Amino acid sequence: MSSIGIIVNPLSGNDRGAHIWGEVQTYLQTHQISYVAKLTTKAGEATRHAISLIQEHHVERIIIIGGDGTVHETAGGVWQLQNSLNPHPICSIAVIPAGTGNDFAKAYGIPKHSLEALEIALTTPSTVQIDLLHALPTQVAVNSIGAGFDGMVAKITNEASYKKFLNRLGLGKLSYFISILRVFATYQPSTAWLKVDGNVTELPDMWLAAVANIPFYGGAIQICPTASPTDGMADVVVIQSKGRIRLLPVLFTVYQGKHTKHPAVSFYKGKSISIQTEKPLLVQADGEFAGSTPLQIELLPAAITVIRAKPTA
């Protein structure tokens, strides 16, 4: 088996990461599987851990125990090295989901049960090279980057005390739903200009513009049902509405991905996307706060390798 690095965010999912790490450690020691593990102690550290695991410990796979934020940071480190002047051998990533939303794990068929997820990470039933969303100048995202409503939802959820409380009850995904209702009550839409592969569209009354690499975010919200991390294209979903009340039906259908025919919703596909707005809007990248607009995103095709469950079809 290739050499194994492990990155653990012990605080993910309100300390679920630490609990799962205990189980994983016991399993690895019992089965005499060697590894190098690094635990995060602050935001941003998973990127540095990934770089160190590859450069200094020459690992060929990194198993992430954490949520989408930790996957985001780790993928950033792996991508940086693969794009450096002296590129390193391919290092694949696998996840044992320990966060709130765990959209990345869901996209690649990884089960919630930590030892089942570990088995996939160790045995590699299948791998896939996935596209990345490169938000210039330095960020890469694995799942999605969004501006406006969802930027605000990500910020409020990550700061909310109910996220911790609901995580403790195993109801973490509900925290995104509560935040959506909170932001819905106060959000003020604005005009934006979306450029997709050179074509500019003016978007009055824009609530949300999300660039998606996988179909869902926030745990269960099927924001962009046609998005695929292997098609070499980024999908963009835009929601516009003059009034709050008219937006309600969209919010109610978006969980099932049934909002796609609603006149307030439009979709685009492309490789180079920019979003300009009349006033700076909050931006989320893989559910973490990532600054504000303007945004310039380039699609990086087949940029990193992910260990996934055996595809069913």
Ligand X SMILES: Nc1ncnc2c1ncn2[C@@H]1O[C@H](COP(=O)(O)OP(=O)(O)OP(=O)(O)O)[C@@H](O)[C@H]1O
Interaction site with ligand X (CB under 6 A)? 9, 11-13, 40-44, 66-70, 73, 99-102, 287-288
Count Cβ atoms below 10 Å from residue 135 Cβ, excluding itself: 20
Closest to ligand X by CB, 173 vs 271, is 173
Shortest CB 243 distance to ligand X, Å:
31
Closest to ligand X by CB, 5 vs 270, is 5
Q: How far is CA 231 from the centre of its chain?
A: 17
Closest to ligand X by CB, 105 vs 281, is 105
Closest to ligand X by CB, 154 vs 206, is 154
Bridge pairing between strands 61-66 and 92-97: parallel
Bridge pairing between strands 126-135 and 36-39: unpaired
Omega cis (within 30) before 215: no
Shortest CB 201 distance to ligand X, Å:
31
| CB-based closest residue to ligand X | 67
**Could you tell me how many helices (H) and strands (E) the chain has, helices first?**
9, 15
Shortest CB 288 distance to ligand X, Å:
5
Shortest CB 240 distance to ligand X, Å:
27
Q: How far is CA 312 from CA 125, 126, 228, 291, 301, in A?
A: 12, 11, 16, 38, 24
Shortest CB 18 distance to ligand X, Å:
10
- Contact of 53 with 7, CB cutoff 8 Å: yes
DSSP letter at 217 equals B
Dihedral over alpha carbons 53, 87, 143, 113 (to 10 degrees): -40
Shortest CB 79 distance to ligand X, Å:
16
Closest to ligand X by CB, 49 vs 61, is 49
Shortest CB 230 distance to ligand X, Å:
22
For residues 179-216, b (16+ Cβ closer than 10 Å) or e, as one string? bbebbbeebebbebebbbeeeeeebebbbbbbbbbbbb
Closest to ligand X by CB, 73 vs 233, is 73
H-run or E-run covering 31: none
Whole-number Å distance between alpha carbons of 148 and 281:
5
Closest to ligand X by CB, 73 vs 131, is 73
Closest to ligand X by CB, 40 vs 240, is 40
Shortest CB 170 distance to ligand X, Å:
13
